[in-house]
Structure formats: C-alpha cells, structure tokens
Structure 1
C-alpha cells in the first residue's frame, strides 16, 4: 500500500454510558495504577472490521456483558460500545483512502484505577497483522499440548473462577504461542491432562469437518470459552444442511477428520495444514468451506 498502514483509531468511553471521544494514538491514556495493567483485572473483545462493517457485533456485545458480569464489573452500556464501534469503523474506512484494509477492533474494559475504582473503557482499531493474512494462505502448523491442569465442573467448580469470561489475563495464552513458534509452529491445541480431551487453541476455537456433512467443536466446559466465530459458522452452516454440534473428542479424532480449522474473529477460519508434524491434506471442499466460513464471520 503506497501510503503505509493507517494510524490506529482510538475512542475513550465514559464507563457509565456517557460520551465517547477520540484519542491521539501518540499520547497515553491509561494511568499507572489501572487494574487492567497491574492485575489483568478486566475483560476484552476482538472484532473484525471489514469494508466499513463491524462483523458479528451482537454476539461480541452479548459475550462482553457476560464477561463483565462474571468479574463483577458494572454492566457496560453495550449500545454506547456499539455506536462508538460503528463510528470508529467509519473513521478507519476513511483513513484507508479507498483501500479495503481489514481492521482489528479491540474493546477493553477494566476495573480502573486503584484510587477511584471507576472502570476504564476504550476501543481501538488497527490493521490486521501480516501473520493473520499469511496463515490464511498456507494453512497452520499446529502442535497439541496439555493445558497442565484439569478444571472442576458442576458442583465441584470454584464459584470465583473466571474461565467463562474473556479476561485481559492472557499471559498464559501468549506463552503458549511463544512455545509454538519456538518449535516451528503457529499455534497450540490445548488438551485436558486427565482425559486427553481437546479444549481449544491458544487464541482460537476449533472446528473439525467430518464425513457426512458434519461440523464438530469441543464442548464449552472445563474452561473452554465458546467462540463467537464458531457460533456464527454453525448458524450459517446449518442453513446449508450441515449437521453441527459440540462433543468431546481427542487429538486422534482431529487427525482422522476431513479437515480441521482454527477460528478467530480477525484471522477468520484457517485450515490446519500440519498437526504434530503430520500433514493434513486439503480436502476437495476446502475452498467451499473457507467461503462459507468467511460469510459467517463477516456478517
């Protein structure tokens, strides 16, 4: 692109449904004692902005509210967040000067400064990374690894656990990605150490394509965060006759599937080309699947 990447678009939101104002990306806007920085005490969402449109906005907004509730944060005014997101998307589109450049829209909502307890809220749009685009072309090299601990479920689950929320505490996820890259891979599929059950990828949901027109994803229990993209894909696929459901399965199940895809909002759905060193050939319907997944993820 001749003029380089557009500057990030940033909006600061008043946490109780007040105004939203633009912020210069070259100036700071977070205080040193903000709990989102010092403790990872907050929630976030990552959305796709494509061709001026904020994709799957309602699903992200619903999960955002659920996450805030799980952390006992004041309920965010989602209409304010949605309006600010649409305005930011317009600003981003204008900054792209006629080029179609996908944007990564991030919502961040923290418990705020230690001295005030007033939440901090902001959103940003910046260009989707080169890595996001490149992996869609060549497919992903993925390793599986134990998550290292087993989550109690049902009556045995600790009532304060936050695994059902999309929290800012992503240090473990980032460590998993660094380990993958150090071992010549792009991502990690996490498994339960007690059962070998597939959980999720470090920053993505998992969809297995099975014979007979079936799409399968791990059950969202035991710390698995249900993905907005996976839900959107299943809704779209069912309209075209696919049998879609969540179930328990292991890594061998993935290796015997017709194809395996990692799904995230900005990277969209990317086929796993290699799993634990084993090549997973592209199926005959890979292009058809990618197009269907994209339709769902861009709505």
Structure 2
C-alpha cells in the first residue's frame, strides 16, 4: 500500500500494437520516476485526453460515466479507441493500491504517443485529494471572462475541440490565474454572444425558482459527470432540472450558484465579479453528502 499509485498501460487501445507484446495489460511504476518519452505528443503538443475521477474509501465514483466521456473525447481527437476494459482494470487496481483515505482521485491520461510510432501512451495515477472543506462550506468567488468564441462554436468549428477533455489546458490555467489576480478563486467563461458556459475546471449549477438549471451541453462545454449526479440528487428530491441557455442576467437573478466537479464536488459561489450573492449552505451540504456517498 502507498499514498500515490501509478499504473502504465501496455496497450491503451486494441487498435494499436502493445508497447511490449509479452507484458501484462498494465505495469506498476514509481510515480516520481521518469516514464514518458520527451517526444510524446501529449507533452510536446498537448495531443491527448484525460479524466479525473473521485475516489471515496477506495471506490472510484461515476466510473462508467467517466470512461464513456474518456472515449468520446478520444474520438473527437481521432485517437485510437481506448480499451475501456483495460482502463477499468487499471483504475480499480490503482484505487485498491492506495493507503486507506476518505477522499482521493484517479487520473487517466491517453496521448497519441511518440510521433511516428503509432502506439498511444496511457497511464492511471491515484493520490489522496487535498482538503476541500473550505470551498464546500465557505464558498468561492468567481469572475466572468470572455472565452473568445460564440456559444455555437462546437457546431460551427468542431476542429477547435470544444467539449472534449483534452490535455490542452493552458488557456484554462491562464484564466484561473487571471481570476486570482482579480481577487477571485475561479472563473466562469462567457461566450462572445453573451451566454454563460462553464468554469475553468467545473460546471455551473444554478438554483432558479425551485429548479436546478445548468448551461446546455451542446454549446462547446464538457458534459459534467458531477453535474449529472447533482441532477440525479435533485430529481430524487423532487426538484425539477433543466439544461438551458443561460445569460449573465440569468446568472445574476439566480437564487444560488455552485461550481461542481470531481474532487471539489459542490462549491457554493458567494461572489460574482465582486458582487455578493446568497449561498444556500443547507442545500450545499445535502448535495455534497449525496455526492460523497455515491455507490457507482
């Protein structure tokens, strides 16, 4: 048992040759040693996809939803189709190999591999999560930032890969740094034609007149696995849910706002562009209790 675990897949996709024809489906590796070749396209061009999966008491949550999105993201990049059985086995193995902790995460990464070799690179890394208590109980401040695209960019310009969870996160991290420079904790992207999209690493959920609303997932944003489970919670509670186009006026008029994601779960928003808004901490606690007790 250890506090960080790494499994490197031998054949991430059945559409490509294994790295070692005589080896097992994955091999254990020491997380802090060198494993990736310097010419791997995931490093040199961000040409790959990933998922981050919440692990509670050693159990990966929303595993099938994450694997399904992993496959969809790979398809958008024309990567070899991930062998989901092999990935599932590796994920479950690294989670079982962690020291017992309440909250951890597993990250899956698939790259195109070294240019010219025709073999993708894949690995699963697991480690304990940082303490998220403050964000969940005290809330976060956000600023809105222009993403530079219209809300229909996924339909008009699919080569921009909006809606795929790629390794190309430089813009997201730059937006996060800009939010911090402005005195906030995170950012919400806004389309050039005025629609609210998503956070740098999270989906938006709004409480509006007794309903839960999130931006539509056909507007170049990720279909959130945690957001889907928040809606599952809402439906069990008899709360109506909806996917809608959301404007800045809708955002300002909402009764409560959350950014939801793996690891952090549901973080209530207390400030938007420096303007204080109400938080529903009772509902936040109920949402997070549900998310942290999922059995699938």
Do they fold alike, i.e. is TM over 0.5?
A: yes
Offset of residue 125 of structure 1: 0.8
Farther off after superposition, 15-24 or 179-188: 15-24
Offset of residue 25 of structure 1: 1.6
Partner of 2:3: 7
Superposition TM-score, scaled by structure 1 size? 0.89
Q: Compared with structure 1, are the counterparts of its residues 198 and 151 closer, same or farther at alpha carbon in structure 2 (3 Å cutoff)?
A: closer
Whether the 8 Å contact between 1:269 and 1:294 is mirrored in structure 2 is no
Partner of 1:139: 139
What aligned pairs does 1:242-261 form with structure 2 within 5 A after superposition?
242-261=239-258
- Partners of 1:180 and 1:67 in 2: CA distance: 27
- Secondary structure of the equivalent of 1:61? helix
Offset of residue 166 of structure 1: 0.7
Partner of 2:214: 217
Count of residues paired in the alignment: 283
Offset of residue 145 of structure 1: 1.6
Whether the 8 Å contact between 1:46 and 1:106 is mirrored in structure 2 is yes
Partner of 2:26: 20
Q: Compared with structure 1, are the counterparts of its residues 298 and 223 closer, same or farther at alpha carbon in structure 2 (3 Å cutoff)?
A: farther
- Secondary structure of the equivalent of 2:149? coil
Farther off after superposition, 286-295 or 226-235: 286-295
Whether the 8 Å contact between 2:56 and 2:103 is mirrored in structure 1 is yes
- Partners of 2:291 and 2:111 in 1: CA distance: 30
Whether the 8 Å contact between 1:9 and 1:88 is mirrored in structure 2 is yes
What aligned pairs does 1:189-268 form with structure 2 within 5 A after superposition?
189-194=188-193, 196-211=194-209, 213-268=210-265
- Partners of 2:78 and 2:147 in 1: CA distance: 26
Offset of residue 58 of structure 1: 0.8
- Partners of 2:293 and 2:53 in 1: CA distance: 10
What per-residue deviation string (whole Å, max 9, x for no partner) do you get for residues 112-151 of structure 1?
0114121000011122224x34322320011112112325
What per-residue deviation string (whole Å, max 9, x for no partner) do you get for residues 152-184 of structure 1?
458x61343311211110000000001111111
Farther off after superposition, 71-80 or 259-268: 71-80
What aligned pairs does 1:147-162 form with structure 2 within 5 A after superposition?
147-150=147-150, 152-153=152-153, 157-162=156-161
Offset of residue 21 of structure 1: 1.4
Offset of residue 252 of structure 1: 2.6
Runs of 5+ unmatched residues, structure 1? 1-5
- Secondary structure of the equivalent of 2:3? coil
Q: Compared with structure 1, are the counterparts of its residues 32 and 59 closer, same or farther at alpha carbon in structure 2 (3 Å cutoff)?
A: same
Partner of 2:48: 42
- Secondary structure of the equivalent of 2:271? strand
- Partners of 2:293 and 2:48 in 1: CA distance: 26
- Partners of 2:158 and 2:184 in 1: CA distance: 35
Partner of 2:121: 120
Superposition TM-score, scaled by structure 2 size? 0.90
Offset of residue 293 of structure 1: 4.3
Offset of residue 206 of structure 1: 0.2
What per-residue deviation string (whole Å, max 9, x for no partner) do you get for residues 234-286 of structure 1?
12211221110111122232222111000001100100011111112223xx3
What per-residue deviation string (whole Å, max 9, x for no partner) do you get for residues 31-53 of structure 1?
00000000000000011011111
Runs (4+) off by over 4 Å: 151-154
Partner of 2:19: none
